[in-house]
Amino acid sequence: MDHDSTDHPKPPRKARRGSQPDLPPQDLTVADVDPATSAAEEDDEARLPEAPEEPAEAIAEGTLAVGHTAIENAVRLAPTSPGVYRMLNASSDVLYVGKAKNVRKRLSSYARVNAPLPARILRMIAATVTVEIVSTTTETEALLLEANLIKQLRPRFNVQLRDDKSFPYILITGDHWAPQILKHRGAQTRPGRYFGPFASAGAVNRTITALQRAFLIRSCTDGFFESRTRPCLLYQIRRCSGPCTREIDFPGYSELVREANDFLSGRSHAVKQLLAAEMEKASAELEFETAALYRDRLAALSAIQSQQGINPRTVEEADVFAIHQEGGYSCVEVFFFRTGQNWGNRAYFPRAEKSFTPEEVLASFLAQFYDDKPPPKLILLSHEIDECQLLADALCVKAGYKVEVSVPKRGEKKELVTHALTNAREALGRKLADTATQSRLLESIAATLGLPQVPKRIEVYDNSHIQGTNAVGAMIVAGPDGFIKNQYRRFNIKSEGLTPGDDYAMMREVLERRFKRLLKPPEGDAAQGKTGAKADDDSFPQWPDLVIIDGGRGQLNAVREIFGGLGLTQVSLMAVAKGPDRDAGRETLFMPDREAIKLEPRDPVLYFIQRLRDEAHRFVIGSHRKLRKKDIREAGLQEIPGIGPSRKRALLHHFGTLKEIERASIADLGKVPGVSAESARKIFEFFHAQAG
């Protein structure tokens, strides 16, 4: 979300002596990363790119004059009240969305011919042919409308939150007599109570496991719950109270759910006091087994709070933001506190031009961060930002309750911000070190392979299928900052008449779909890149410098033929063939018109190439499994040879859900009435077949 604290790209006010002009942040991009998560796990890799400014001399005066004329025409009709304006190019593509307290005054500042504007803003003005305006009642309303339009239209010159992955929550359902506890992402449409956000899925999973031990609430699906005739393993290990088979009655289970809701709502002290009293009572009555159960539940609650680290005494609900800048880069560390408990933290690495102050970066970050997330009642910052009250008012309107945004000066709140600032400093230090290492690896791979330049974008392709079924291709992307997960792509193979298992034909379809999209010239866009493709984005190139294929000389020649047919000559190609017996460290590298390359097993370049190939394999296998499971869900168990409607019903009655059937061992499958040992083996092999 882009708001008027800087109102990018707002023309500068007249600078005071010794001060910097009020220049707008340029294309600030937020990339979400959890420092504790590896590249092969979920969550996206952070990026620290840098977009160089183009010289103002590169802009043709005639084109700039056209832009000034278009803006001047809009100024004459613009209102002097708050509103949102959109700048459009000749193709009616939205270049920029901005808001202002006085729209006419803001637009007139763009129309000044001799204003000392940055080159990026001059390019925006030069491309503008139309300005559209929407009036609003208040500036707060304008800020909210601006955020919605930016998210919907993604204008080129706006601050953009490209990675807006939702945070996980804990949900205690409210649509069943025996509520279930589970992890939840996305829209909160299912009835129940939601607790969060948590910084990562791992934090949610650990908390749910501890809550199960403390409150014995079920985590199974409703289908599995309804099919049970005896308690499952979770009941045996005291992580569930067994409501499915009435091991606990409705009032007793409802009391457990109430206690869990109270604990997650901030009344943890009262819940622990109650459990301690019940433990003492059971012990006094010599019911030592019951007392031991209460003891274990208390220990589980203590484990939750100890894992959370800092648990503030005076802060019930707050998000803490701290920013640290170093080496031209920024890191924003966010801590989440709910119900007086620390629910985790996450580091973000915004991309911004080096001249921006921490206050400017933080203001833009905050506006984007809460565009699709509910704010807490208190937001604590490490730096003062412009228009702090306007942001608070906008969040109040959106949330429906009062939101305070402040910079604490003393006390426990100040300590929380200081702690977050320390984490931001350490996270940025780690990221800078990783980025330096990645840059050295890219330089080494360019030298080893004899590439014309150090690659900024590497694309790796792989295919997966089982005897030609559920065929899928995948592309992973790496650059100077590691794996760029928001650039990954999956390609469902669509060609009809494809010979099952024809890897060459599959690769042809994937590459043609990928590069024909780049080769297709965008209508009305004068800015062209390589071979008619749209000009690369400032943050990361669209065209790869190196394409890597999993395979040998045959795959390389096939891809080379495909590229020749498309007229691609500027992209370097390489194929990676597995070693004998598929041993890692003995791979052979193939490049066009060159002898095969064998690197030493401990060569860092070979290890880097292995990581790229393994990441592509991990991604394509995951994509294939999702596709296969979807087909299984849609087609049912009839897809398994020898499994008809009767055996399907028996399996579902015994296990409850398809997921539990998939998890079952051959021995467990053989216990189902009507399922022979041979049928059990077929069922097991169907679910556990290795994708090729």
Q: Is 349 domain-assigned?
A: yes
Tokens 């490209």 — which residue? Answer: 162
Q: Is 567 exposed, middle or buried (0-12, 13-18, 19+ CB in 10 A)?
A: exposed
Q: DSSP of 94-131, one letter per residue? A: EEEEEEESSHHHHHHHHS-TT----HHHHHHHHH--EE
Query: What digits encode the pLDDT tens for the residues 603-662?
Result: 888 888 888 888 888 888 877 676 666 555 545 555 666 677 777 777 776 776 666 777
Single out the residue in 99, 124, 153 at which a domain terminates.
Answer: 153
Q: Are residues 57 and 179 in the same domain?
A: no
- Domain co-membership, 195 together with 141: no
For residue 384, being part of any structural domain is answered with: yes
**69 and 216 in one domain?**
no
Q: Do residues 403 and 504 share a domain?
A: no
CA distance 95 to 556: 40
Pair (77, 128) in one structural domain:
yes
Q: Are residues 98 and 174 in the same domain?
A: no
Residue 283 clears pLDDT 80, i.e. is over it: no
**Of 63-77, 98-112, 348-362, 600-614, minimum mean pLDDT range:** 348-362
Range of the domain at 500: 458-524+535-627
CA distances to 25, 50, 323, 434 from 428, rounded to whole Å, are 20, 15, 10, 10
**384, 321 in Cβ contact below 8 A?**
no
Q: Would you give the distance in Å from CA 246 to the centre of its chain?
A: 41
Q: What is the pLDDT of residue 260?
A: 84
Identify whether residues 145 and 261 lie together within a single domain: no
Structure tokens at 429: 């230090």
Give the number of other CB atoms < 10 A from CB of residue 57: 8
pLDDT of residue 239: 83
Residue 493: pLDDT above 80?
Answer: no
For residues 254 and 273, the answer to whether their CB atoms sit within 8 Å is no
C-alpha–C-alpha distance, residues 491 and 485, integer Å: 15
Whether 97 maps to a domain, the answer reads yes
CATH of the domain at 148: 3.40.1440.10
Determine what percent of the chain is predicted with pLDDT higher than 90: 8
**pLDDT value at 467 more than 80:** no
6 within a domain of the structure (yes/no): no
pLDDT at 571: 86
Q: Which of 3-7, 120-124, 127-131 has the lowest mean pLDDT?
A: 3-7
582 lies in a domain? yes
End-to-end CA distance of the chain: 43
Q: Is the pLDDT of residue 689 over 80?
A: no
- The answer to the question of residue 530 being in a domain is no
483 SS3 class: strand
Is residue 363 domain-resident? yes
Domain endpoint, select from 124, 153, 182: 153
Residue 557: give its domain's CATH number. Answer: 3.30.420.340
Question: Of 29-43, 474-488, 548-562, 674-688, which gets the smallest average pLDDT?
Answer: 29-43
- CB-CB neighbours of 558 under 10 Å: 19
Residue 211 has a pLDDT of 82
Please indicate whether residue 27 or residue 454 has the higher confidence score (pLDDT): 454
How many domains are contained in the chain? 5
Mean pLDDT value across residues 143-163: 73
pLDDT of 303 reads 60
pLDDT band at 13 (very low <50, low <70, confident <90, very high): very low
Omega cis (within 30) before 408: no
The reply to whether 357 falls in a domain is: yes
Alpha helices, H only, 265-387: 268-284, 288-307, 358-369
In the beta sheet, which residues pair with residue 589?
576, 597
Predicted confidence band of residue 676 (pLDDT cuts 50, 70, 90): confident
Our CA angle for 606, 608, 611, nearest 5°, is: 110
Pair (422, 462) in one structural domain: no
Q: Does residue 234 sit in the same domain as residue 355?
A: no
pLDDT per residue over 21-52, tens digit each? 333 333 333 333 333 333 333 333 334 434 33
Residue 544: is the preceding peptide bond cis (ω within 30°)? no
Q: What is the CATH number of the domain that holds 650?
A: 1.10.150.20
Among 185-194, 353-362, 636-645, which stretch is predicted with the lowest mean pLDDT? 636-645
In terms of phi and psi (left: phi > 0; alpha: psi -120 to 50; beta: otherwise), the region of 36 is alpha
Is the domain of 517 the same as that of 489?
yes
pLDDT band at 546 (very low <50, low <70, confident <90, very high): very high
Residues 204, 287, single domain; the answer is yes
Does one domain contain both 388 and 519?
no
pLDDT at 324: 92
Residue 163: its pLDDT value, please? Answer: 57
Report, as an integer, the average pLDDT of 152-181.
Answer: 78
Residue 582 Rama label (left phi>0; alpha psi -120 to 50; beta): left
Final residue in a domain of this structure, among 578, 601, 627 = 627
Q: For residues 349-373, give the mean pLDDT.
A: 78
Residues 655/661, Cβ–Cβ less than 8 Å: yes
How many other C-beta atoms lie within 10 A of the C-beta of residue 615? 22
- pLDDT, tens digit, 9 for 90 and up, residues 378-405: 999 999 988 888 889 888 888 888 999 9
Type of residue numbered 388: C
